[in-house]
Each structure stands twice: as structure tokens, then as C-alpha cells.
């Protein structure tokens, strides 16, 4: 079956609210064998909602509308759908009971404006909202499913799982498997696997580029996961052959943590321009405590000398953004935290602070073990955040390569 998803709301159109619901719902519907026909965003306008609803119904069997079920006058989704099908809105005693219970549990008097949320199109089914006050709605018309859901993801997701998903028809299941391409540009990867990316038949292969890593997804319909695994085995083998040394089962940071734990190695960090981002990415991974010894954010010259033992002469002679300082920062962190490996980063993230000799985006990154200390110099492009993320991803990839080859 084909599905359409329509996100309703001026705040979604303007970008004030991120539309997290559409990709989440699409993944869920694809997992039970349905395919997307239309994904759209419309403002809080009766005419816009009506027009997109008609288009979606012409293209698909399941239409999901998110948002616009609140108590304020600009929440028009339910009213627009009811008007499109000439359905009378009537108070649902079930929905009213849920709403009263919501307010009673919080010892709050229910505002009269919330009465609007208990109105349901005649013949429709109310969906319980266990988190908020806006009940969802399912309308079945001429073998079509029209599903209205609240906009906040914390309300939508449990309602979808418990109230909607069990009742939807299931086609041949849709499976997908993700790989991660590390230490390789998107263009280089595309050159190596272009014939696979151009396949018009299942299994399909799709890249999703990010900063410093690429997610590579294989997808296909199958009767079971074992059937899916058999269907993708040939494509999987070809990918592994063509991206050898750069293809992993997990994202960058998780790959690094798994390697460190497997090799029984510990790591520490000393950061200036990244402001603790490398440490944060490492500690975002569950289980990182088994290998992360500690980190220091040494933003000032005084902290570089006082905490890490960086030579003041090098700071004066070469500057904080230099090969010499990056080297001493890495060595100082390794000694300070007693780790097997230490990483450092010092640079100019921007948007200001650059010179002709040291432009914005210049970063020196150190890698230190008891046997060697190496410094990498890069000039990254992008805004301040992008430079910092690129720095973190670059030095983590260099660490992964050295662990695999040398440690």
C-alpha cells in the first residue's frame, strides 16, 4: 500500500519547529511493507489542508496528518478534514473522559478551550493520548485510512505504537541495514560503488552523507530478516570489496570505542578549539567509561601550561595554534590521565580570529602514545560548529586507522 504524510503547522513551515515526525512515521510505515507516495508540509490553513488531503488521497491508501489538533483557533486539521468529507463534528464521551482524567491527575481545572479537542468527526475513532490533551483520530472512507495525530513527538510516538500500528495492514515487510563509510569522501565512495547506487531493482543502496562519515543503507522487502540477509548478501560482498578498510558496522565514535575496548586501550583528550566536543562524543557512547580516562578543555594559555605542562616558550614563539603546542597538549594529556592514547586539538574555529598565516579553519591535532606523537594539520571549511565537528571526526578517524594498523 502507498502512504502520504502531511505535517501541518506554520511553525513547521518556518522552521521554528523541526519536523521530526515525518521521517519517523515513514520509517515505521516502510517497516511494515508500505511505500511513500507523498511527504508534505502545509501551513495552518483550511484551504491548504483540504487541497493537500485531496492530493494525498488520490495518490495513496494511508494518509497521516500530524499537528493542528490543539485547543487554539489556528488548530484546523480536524475541522478541515471533517469539512472535506461533510462529516459532522460531535463530542466524543471517550475523548472527554480521557481529557478530564488528564487534568484531574494534575489537580488543574480543565480550560473551556480544551472542549474543542473532544470533538470527533461522526463515525471516526478516537485515539488515546497518554501524554497530552489532543486525542488522535482514525477515519476509514472507501478503503482509505485517514489518521490525524498530535504534533509533539512525545505524544505522537506512543499513540502511533499503541493505538495505530496494531490496526494497520501489514504487507511484505521492509528491512534495512546500515553501514558506515569512514575516512573517505562521498565522491570517492560514489566512484567506487556507482553501479550499485544506480540499481533500479531491490535491494536498493542509498548514501546519507554527514560531516566526517557517510551512512550507507541497504534496503529491500522480504518475508523475514533471514530472507532479507540472503537477498542482500551479494550487494553486501561487493560493497565490502570496493570500500575495504573504510566500511564499518557502526558510526565513527562507536567504532572507536569498540576498538579501544577490544584492544584494552585507554584514551584521553586535551581540547582548545573544540571546547570538549571530542570528549562529549566519546562519552555519548554507552560503555565509554571502560576506555575513556578523562579530558581537559584548556582554552587559555595558562590552562595549557598549568594543566598540561605546555612549554610557555612554545606558546610565545609559535602561538597556541601550532604543531608544537598540539604535540605537547597530547603528550601532556596522556601523562596527566595515564592513558595509552591521547588526542589534542588546537585551532581557529572562527568566524573571526584568522590571519593570512593562520586562517579560520586551521587546526592542529595531536595523537600521542608512549611510542610516538604525531600532529596533523588541516584547514577545514564551514562555520564554527562545522569546523569543530570536522576536527573531532578527523582525529577520531586517524586514531581508528592507527589502532587497526599498529596497536
Residue pair 8/67 in contact (Cβ under 8 Å)? The answer is: yes
Contact 345, 363 (CB under 8 A): yes
78-132: per-residue pLDDT in tens? 999 999 999 999 999 999 999 999 999 999 999 999 999 999 999 999 999 999 9
**Pairing assessment for the beta strands 292-297 and 247-248 based on DSSP bridges:** unpaired
Decide if 2-167 and 252-405 have a common fold: no
264 vs 284: CA distance, rounded Å: 19
pLDDT at position 55: 97
pLDDT tens-digit readout, 174-192 = 889 999 999 999 999 999 9
Give me the pLDDT at residue 407, please.
75
- Band of pLDDT at residue 394, cut at 50, 70 and 90: very high
Structural class in CATH, domain 252-405: alpha beta
Contact, 202 vs 61, CB < 8 A? Answer: no
Q: Where are the domains of the chain?
A: 2-167, 173-248, 252-405
User: Domain 2-167 belongs to what topology?
Assistant: Molybdenum Cofactor Biosythetic Enzyme; Chain A (3.40.980)
Residue 169 has a pLDDT of: 86
Helix (H, G, I), strand (E, B) or coil at 309: coil
Q: Quick one: pLDDT at residue 395?
A: 98
Burial of 250 (0-12, 13-18, 19+ CB in 10 A): middle
Beta-strand relationship, 267-271 and 341-347:
parallel
- Give me the pLDDT at residue 187, please: 96
| Rounded Cα distance, 151 and 69, in Å | 8
Query: What mean pLDDT, rounded, does the chain reach?
Result: 95
CATH topology of domain 173-248: Alpha-Beta Plaits (3.30.70)
Closest CA relative to residue 255, chosen from 180, 350, 192, 198: 180
Q: What is the pTM of this model?
A: 0.75
Of 296, 23, 311, give the one whose Cα is nearest residue 153: 23
User: For 191, left (φ over 0), alpha (ψ -120 to 50), or beta?
Assistant: alpha
* DSSP3 helix / strand / coil % (the chain, rounded to 5): 45, 25, 30
Tell me the pLDDT tens digit for each residue of 213-272.
999 999 998 888 999 999 999 999 999 999 999 999 999 999 999 999 999 999 999 999
Rg (CA), the chain: 27
pLDDT of residue 256: 98
In sequence order, which residues have a C-beta less than 8 Å from that of residue 137 and are 6 or more positions away? 69, 78, 120, 121, 124, 125, 126, 127, 147, 148
Amino acid at each position: 500500500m502507498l502512504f502520504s504524510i502531511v505535517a501541518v503547522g506554520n511553525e513547521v513551515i518556518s522552521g521554528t519547529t523541526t519536523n521530526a515526525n515525518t521521517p519517523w512515521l515513514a520509517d515505521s510505515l516502510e517497516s511494515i511493507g508500505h511505500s511513500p507516495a507523498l511527504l508534505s508540509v502545509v501551513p495552518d490553513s483550511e484551504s491548504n489542508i483540504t487541497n493537500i488531503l485531496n492530493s494525498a488521497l488520490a495518490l495513496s491508501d494511508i494518509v497521516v496528518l500530524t499537528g493542528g489538533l490543539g485547543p487554539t483557533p489556528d488548530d484546523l486539521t480536524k475541522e478541515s478534514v471533517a469539512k472535506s468529507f461533510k462529516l459532522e463534528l460531535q463530542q466524543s464521551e471517550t475523548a472527554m473522559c480521557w481529557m478530564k482524567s488528564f487534568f484531574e491527575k494534575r489537580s488543574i481545572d480543565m480550560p473551556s478551550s480544551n472542549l474543542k479537542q473532544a470533538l470527533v468527526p461522526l463515525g471516526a475513532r478516537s485515539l488515546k493520548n497518554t501524554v497530552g490533551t489532543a486525542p488522535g483520530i482514525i477515519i476509514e472512507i472507501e478503503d482509505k485510512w485517514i489518521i490525524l495525530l498530535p504534533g509533539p513527538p512525545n505524544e505522537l510516538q506512543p499513540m502511533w505504537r499503541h493505538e495505530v500500528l496494531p490496526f494497520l495492514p501489514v504487507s511484505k515487510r521492509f528491512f534495512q541495514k546500515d553501514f558506515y563509510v569512514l575516512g573517505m569522501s562521498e565522491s570517492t565512495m560514489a566512484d567506487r560503488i556507482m553501479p550499485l547506487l544506480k540499481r533500479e531493482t531491490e535491494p536498493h543502496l542509498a548514501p546519507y552523507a554527514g560531516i566526517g562519515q557517510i551512512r550507507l543503507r541497504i534496503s529491500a522487502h522480504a518475508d523475514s530478516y533471514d530472507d532479507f540477509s540472503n537477498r542482500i548478501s551479494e550487494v553486501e560482498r561487493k560493497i565490502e570489496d570496493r570500500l575495504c578498510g573504510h566500511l564499518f558496522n557502526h558510526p565513527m565514535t562507536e567504532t572507536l570505542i569498540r576498538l579501544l575496548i577490544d584492544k584494552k586501550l585507554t584514551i584521553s583528550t586535551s581540547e582548545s578549539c573544540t571546547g570538549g566536543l571530542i570528549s562529549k562524543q566519546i562519552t555519548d557512547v554507552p560503555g565509554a567509561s571502560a576506555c575513556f580516562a578523562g579530558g581537559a578543555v584548556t582554552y587559555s594559555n595558562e590552562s595549557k601550561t598549568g594543566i598540561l605542562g605546555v612549554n610557555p616558550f612554545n606558546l610565545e614563539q609559535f602561538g597556541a595554534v601550532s604543531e608544537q603546542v598540539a604535540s605537547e597538549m597530547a603528550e601532556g594529556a596522556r601523562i596527566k590521565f595515564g592513558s595509552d592514547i591521547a588526542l589534542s586539538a588546537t585551532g581557529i574555529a572562527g568566524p573571526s580570529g584568522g590571519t593570512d598565516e593562520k586562517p579560520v579553519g586551521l587546526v592542529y591535532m595531536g595523537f600521542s602514545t608512549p611510542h610516538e606523537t604525531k600532529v596533523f594539520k588541516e584547514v577545514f571549511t564551514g562555520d564554527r560548529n562545522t569546523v569543530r565537528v570536522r576536527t573531532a571526526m578527523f582525529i577520531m578517524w586517524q586514531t581508528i586507522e592507527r589502532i587497526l594498523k599498529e596497536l
